[in-house]
Amino acid sequence: MQQDLHLPSLLRSLLQNPLHPLFYSSIFRVLARTPNSLRHGRQLHALLLLHGVHTNPTLAARMAAMYSSSGDLRSASLLLHHHPSPSPLLFNSLIRGHSLRNLHSQVLSLFHAMLACSLLPDHFTFPFVLKACANLLSLFTGCAVHSLCLRTGLELDVYVGSSLINMYSKCGEVRFAHRLFDVMLFKDVASWNALIAGYMMVGAVKVAEHLFDDMPKRNVISWTAMISGYTQNGVADRALQMFEEMKKDCKEVKPNWVTIVSVLPACAHSAALDKGKRIHEYARTLGLDSHPTVLIATMGMYAKCGSLVEARRCFDCLPEGDKSVVAWNTMIAAYASHGHGPEAVSAFDDMVRSGVQADSVSFTALLSGCSHSGLVDQGMKYFDTMSMVYSVEAKYEHFACIVDLLSRAGKLHKALEIANKMKIDSGPSIWGALLAASRTHRNLEVAEIAAKRLFVLEPSNSGNYILLSNMYAEAGKWDEVKKLRAVLREKGMKKSPGCSWSEINGQAHAFFTGDLCHPQASEIYKFLEDLPVKMKAAGYRPETSFVLHDVDEEEKECNLATHSEKLAIAFGILNTSPGATLRITKNLRICGDCHSAAKFISKIHEREIIIRDINRFHHFKDGICSCGDYW
């Protein structure tokens, strides 16, 4: 509106010669579509009240739409409250306004009030109501709304139909969604997108792929649904490939901030730092890098790819007003996973001082940071004050962190006491922490208690049997070792193979323990054959206790030499320039011997080696690990 149409003077002249209410309705309709028009809308409303202009249902609806679009939902709701005969249009305006601000429970309350007034919903009402059902995962209400759609003959309306498909898909009833999709006469792109997202959500990746291939027309949401679906289903390589296809094949369809946020976790999952950096740079060229959600996703990517400095830089780029609890949690978790417990505690305290309310995730990250750094007193203090000071009730994951904290510190009986007294059922992560710590602190008594619980909770997890078997072997209890091995054979269980991978020049290279399949296998093994002499001269002693079998020491050393971490390190040194940082990811916990060897290799070859195992990061440099050997 040009200079806002000089509204004050215009309105005064109009009100000297009052016009029909529908005329003012058209002005409010324009105001609803005009940014920053709330002040003038309020002035017009006030003048109408002063001059006694009758507020008919249409005018009331337009006024409500203006207030809703400007975010003043309270004023919009008051119009409904005081109107003697509200119209469907007035309810629709309010329903839309609340939906746009994701106030889904209020949307359903307004819908119920509309029905209570014996007003019939229309094709404008149903999509917003079904969206609320989908986001609240309220299948029962969604089905009831669907029955109303059938009674009003709107089930096959293109917008209502798409909303029904989306509702059923998000609520996990993808079969109903597909059945409805098949009978729709006209399928818009939103219908296809909703069904694809639904199949991805239930893990039916192949069906989603077939739908995507059959689509007559795709938009950015179509591509994003596929990328996000691949990421959520652990097919990170395919997500990254799809992102590249989108950039290459779609000249008219550009990724948006949601696309960027969907693909970055795929980089984190694969520890593909180089690809993550390229996507970050691409987001910068699109002007999306300053979007708060993109910055938070980029923080998480850098942290999970081992670049804590870049993660912190992204956090610092966030304006203070955009540092939400999600942003703070991401930063606290980053410090925790890298073993920087004091920094995790400091970040938590900074968040509280900034006025951001800590939540359950905040405490999981904080307690994990304390656990990885041995901050027992601080961890217990925060755990004990969670409820009273921060109004956060302790959940299973918090108890798991505390048991882990105490177990790592050698306070096994205290940890066992907490595990036994928990009001919440103690699960595998709690007993797993006790079992792992029992191995570290060589406490066979607690190990047996924890293992017996795990044999019930995780009957198919061979790792628990093998860990206890190792402890029996160390204690010379070979009869017990034979019993456990017999159970493994009887159940047909095998040890999960260790796998480590590293990204070199944008390509991921994976290695399994004892791997001979890599094209450079002979060079890698030659490198590893020569390595022990140099390491032993520097003080290295193989930790053969990490080998399961009761064989001689020479064979144990040979087994250790072919662990996947060592293969990946050797490959990295052979294929990167001197001084380059090596980044390696492992699917299991790094073994003690590989941890010790990595320290010596980092010193001998003057390399920084960053290994991300299933629990945390280890930064090796100059013969020292960032964990301080507390892991």
Cα separation, 557 vs 528, in Å, equals 12
Does residue 134 contact residue 108 with C-beta atoms inside 8 Å?
no
Tokens read off for 499? 């796998």
DSSP category for residue 615: S
Q: Does 545 share its domain with 481?
A: no
Compute CA 526 distance to the chain's CA centroid, rounded to the nearest angstrom.
41
Q: Say which CATH number the domain at 434 has.
A: 1.25.40
SS (H, E, C) 566-602: HHHHHHHHHHCCCCCCEEEEECCCCCHHHHHHHHHHH
Structure tokens at 119: 């007003």
Computed over every residue of the chain, the mean pLDDT equals 86
The helix/strand/coil state of 263 is helix
**Between 70 and 244, the higher pLDDT residue:** 244
Determine the pLDDT at residue 252.
Answer: 75
Quick one: 606 and 550 in the same domain?
Answer: yes
Pair 40, 4: CB distance under 8 Å: yes
83, with CB counted inside 10 A (0-12, 13-18, 19+), is middle
- Is 410 part of a structural domain of the chain? no
3-class SS letters over 44-100: HHHHHHHCCCCCCHHHHHHHHHHHHHCCCHHHHHHHHHHCCCCCHHHHHHHHHHHHH
Spatial neighbors of 84 by CB under 8 A, at least 6 apart, are none
Could you give phi then psi for residue 504, rounded to 5 degrees?
Answer: -120, 120
- Label residue 426 by pLDDT band (50, 70, 90): confident
Residue 504 Cα distances to 51, 394, 578, angstroms: 75, 42, 14
Name the one residue in this structure whose structure tokens are 């029905």. 115
pLDDT of 428 > 60? The answer is yes
Question: How far apart, in whole angstroms, are the C-alpha atoms of residue 188 and residue 193?
Answer: 9
Question: Same domain, yes or no, for 580 and 515?
Answer: yes
Does one domain contain both 556 and 526? yes
Report pLDDT for 23.
60
In a domain, 483, yes or no: yes
Residues 478 and 504 both lie in one domain: no
| Of 50-64, 171-185, 259-273, 516-530, the least confident | 50-64
Give the range among 206-210, 437-441, 559-563, 599-603 with minimum mean pLDDT: 559-563
Take residue 55 and report the two structure tokens written for it: 């507020």
Q: What pLDDT, on the 0 to 100 scale, is given for residue 507?
A: 81
Number of C-beta neighbours around residue 304 at 10 A: 24
Q: Following CA atoms 398, 402, 405, 410 in sequence, which dihedral angle do they give, to the nearest 10 degrees?
A: -160
**Which structural domain, as residue segments, surrounds residue 435?**
421-491
Q: Is residue 454 part of a domain?
A: yes
Span 372-385, pLDDT tens digits: 999 999 999 999 99
pLDDT tens for 521-569 read 999 988 888 887 777 777 777 665 555 444 444 444 445 668 889 999 9
Residue 260 has pLDDT above 70, yes or no: yes
Domain shared by 460 and 503, yes or no: no
Confirm whether 294 is domain-assigned: yes
Tokens of 194: 């909703």
Q: Which of 322, 344, 363 is the last residue of a domain?
A: 322
Q: How many domains does the chain have?
A: 3
pLDDT at 417 over 90: yes
Least confident of 24-33, 57-66, 265-274, 521-530: 24-33
Helix (H, G, I), strand (E, B) or coil at 466: helix
Check residue 37 and give its pLDDT: 65
Number of H helices, E strands in the chain: 33, 6
590 and 509 co-located in one domain: yes
CA distance 266 to 200: 15
Strand 499-504 relative to strand 617-621, pairing: unpaired
The answer on 522 and 595 residing in a single domain is yes
Q: How long a stretch of residues is the chain?
A: 631
Which element (helix H / strand E) includes 625?
strand 624-625
514, part of any domain: yes
Give me the percent of the chain exceeding a pLDDT of 70.
88
Position 187 pLDDT exceeds 80: yes
Mean pLDDT of 164-185: 93
Q: Are 60 and 88 in contact (CB under 8 A)?
A: no
Residue 264 lies in a domain: yes
Distance CA 65, CA 95 (A): 10
Tell me the CA distances in angstroms from 63 to 27, 42, 87, one per residue in order.
Answer: 9, 9, 13
Four-CA torsion 465, 471, 473, 478, nearest 10 degrees: -70
- Between 45-49, 150-154, 267-271, 364-368, the lowest mean confidence (pLDDT) is in 45-49
Residue 130 forms part of a structural domain: no
**108/113 Cα distance (integer angstroms):** 9
H or E stretch including 538?
Answer: none
| Together in a domain, 463 and 532 | no
Residues 92 and 60 sit within 8 Å (Cβ to Cβ): no
Highest mean pLDDT among 236-250, 348-362, 504-518: 348-362
CA–CA gap between residue 90 and residue 65 (Å, rounded): 8
Q: What is the pLDDT of residue 52?
A: 60
Position 533 scores a pLDDT of 75
* pLDDT bucket at 296, cuts 50 / 70 / 90: very high
Mark whether 595 and 515 lie in a shared domain: yes
Are 457 and 510 contained in the same domain? no
pLDDT given at position 496: 75
510 — phi, psi (to 5°)? Answer: -110, 145
534 and 612 part of one domain: yes
The span from the CA of 89 to the CA of 579, in Å, is 68
Nearest to 451 by CA among 476, 480, 422, 424: 480
Tokens of 612: 């991300």
The DSSP output letter for 3 is G
φ/ψ of 493, rounded to 5, equals: -90, 145
Q: How far is CA 271 from the centre of its chain?
A: 15
Between CA 412 and CA 426 the distance in angstroms is 16
Helix (H, G, I), strand (E, B) or coil at 503: strand
User: What pLDDT is attached to residue 614?
Assistant: 86
Of 440, 469, 491, which marks where a domain is finished? Answer: 491
48 belongs to a structural domain: no
DSSP 187-254: --HHHHHHHHHHHHHTT-HHHHHHHHHH-SS--HHHHHHHHHHHHHTT-HHHHHHHHHHHHHH-SS--
